[in-house]
């Protein structure tokens, strides 16, 4: 099964939240908030990478088993 629409929606929401934290921190001079947003970015990137690996593994499994 490929990445669901729900997963994509949740990942996009997290990305927007991260950007808001980074921007707010930069605009107000709040380094902690800015850094928190940057940390969220790293977490989001890992999650996206894991989803891509999962999708690819499912594609390979479908090819091997003939399930389409």
Q: What local confidence, expressed as pLDDT, does residue 4 receive?
A: 72
Tell me: pLDDT of 3 over 70: no
Q: Which two tokens stand for residue 61?
A: 């499994």
CA–CA dist 51, 53 (Å, integer): 5
Query: pLDDT tens digits, residue range 15-68?
Result: 899 999 999 999 999 999 999 988 888 888 888 888 888 888 888 988 898 866
Check the CA dihedral 56-58-59-65 and report its sign. Answer: positive
Tell me: pLDDT of 2 over 60: no
């Amino acid at each position: 099964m490929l990445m669901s629409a729900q997963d994509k929606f949740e990942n996009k929401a997290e990305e927007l939240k991260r950007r808001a934290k980074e921007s707010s921190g930069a605009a107000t001079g709040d380094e902690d908030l800015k850094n928190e947003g940057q940390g969220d970015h790293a977490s989001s990137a890992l999650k996206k990478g894991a989803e891509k690996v999962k999708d690819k593994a499912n594609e390979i499994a479908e090819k091997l088993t003939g399930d389409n």
